[in-house]
Amino acid sequence: MSTKEDIPETGNRYNLNELAGAFGDLGTLVPFVVAYIVILKMDGAAVLLGMGAALIVVGALYRTPFPVQPMKAIGTVAVGQAAVAGLTASAVVAAGLVTGIIWLVLGATGLAKRAADLIPRPALLGVILGLGLSFMLEGLRMLSANAWVGGGLLALTLLMIGRPRFPAMLVLLVIGCAIALIEQPGLAAELGTISPTFELPGLAWPALTWNDVWLGTILLALPQLPLTFGNALIAITDENNRLFPNHRTNENRVAVSTGIMNLWSSAIGGIPLCHGAGGMAGHIRFGATTGGATVMLGVLLTATALVFGGSISLLLRVFPQSVLGVILFMAGAELAMTSKEPGPEKVDRFLVLATAAIAVLNVGLAVIFGVLGHHASKRGWLDL
């Protein structure tokens, strides 16, 4: 993890490293967006436009790699219970509306910071460590779909990650696109049929029913609150202020921005959004140091929504599971490492965390990884 001395305290920058870092949160973005569009039949243009515009504003205002992510608890329940509980796209929109109101009120009244001040630092660090490990485990699960390819990509990423002359993320994306085209022989032909069609989503609130609001509140919005409080309010504020002391924020401001971007996204039929701490870790891990990274990602998502809104699920198929797994694993490791102040033993700490995560799935592989990682670090091959 970069220390605050390593990260420049400047305005937003727009260069190759910031662009590479912009994609550091794809591990959570792509799976949830695809699930919302394919399973819940949500408007792809609305989903990406809601998130894209929020990223642009957030990057410009915070001037750090402040993330915008799909809310994970809401996404998991909505997609997993779509058939059983009768959840629809309208219930997701209603959940975003209710969530926006709740966080806007908490931030505007100062209750968000008062509640955050009650959390002791050891508990906060435990939350950060747990979130990081959960990201790492989910990344490993995604890698296991094609273990040899995923393992090779992870090894390549580890060798490139500390060498800014070769942005690891951009190399990873190019290789990922090639893998996707090989694994899906008909994908190239399908991509060739895409044509630009300018599209603007309509206003979604007037179509909501009281049943949508009830289901969205009880099944989606309320269960999400504890996760958002720990991850997307307390943890992200601490992470931002520790790494970017000249661009400090507070829990009330983060709560207000969470509220506003959810009201915006739900108004056009988009998904509930948050500022997950893992997102910032992912952006930074792959090269981002300013809000320019999130602004560039926001511009890309917005342009895609407006010009290729009807083909978004097809376009996202160029990101294979193996690549998304590597991104999520590295973002989780970056976040978990922030549960302890960075120091000279940083590589050793990464090896301990990575080996522990792999051991949950396969102890033999964990031993091999730990031994190889140790010798690679002694030879200077790992520069994290």
Partnered with residue 274 across adjacent β-strands are 69
Residue 358 domain-assigned (yes or no): no
**Helix locations, 272-345, DSSP H:** 277-285, 292-307, 312-315, 321-337
Q: Which is it for the CA torsion 234, 257, 288, 302, positive or negative?
A: positive
Q: How far, in Å, CA of 60 to CA of 70, rounded?
A: 20
Q: Quick one: pLDDT at residue 105?
A: 97
Partnered with residue 70 across adjacent β-strands are 273
Residue 2 domain-assigned (yes or no): no
Q: How far, in Å, CA of 110 to CA of 99, rounded?
A: 17
Residue 382 domain-assigned (yes or no): no
Residue 341 domain-assigned (yes or no): no
Dihedral pair phi/psi, residue 211, rounded to 5°: -65, -40
Residue 194 domain-assigned (yes or no): yes
Residue 250 domain-assigned (yes or no): yes
Domain that holds residue 43: 16-129+185-321
Q: Quick one: pLDDT at residue 10?
A: 63
Which single residue is written with the structure tokens 């220390």? 3
Name the amino acid, one letter, at 174.
V
Q: Which two tokens stand for residue 283?
A: 């952006």
Residue 346 domain-assigned (yes or no): no
What contacts 87, CB < 8 A, 6 or more positions away? 40, 77, 78, 81, 215, 219, 220
pTM above the 0.75 mark? yes
Tell me the mean pLDDT per 10 residues along the chain, length 384: 47 91 90 88 94 97 95 82 75 96 96 88 75 84 85 86 75 91 92 86 94 92 88 91 93 97 97 92 92 97 92 90 89 78 63 75 72 77 68
Contact 15, 272 (CB under 8 A): no
Specify the number of domains making up the chain.
Answer: 1
Dihedral pair phi/psi, residue 12, rounded to 5°: -65, 140
Name the amino acid, one letter, at 284.
I
Residue 161 domain-assigned (yes or no): no
Other CB atoms within a 10 A radius of the CB of residue 362 amount to 14
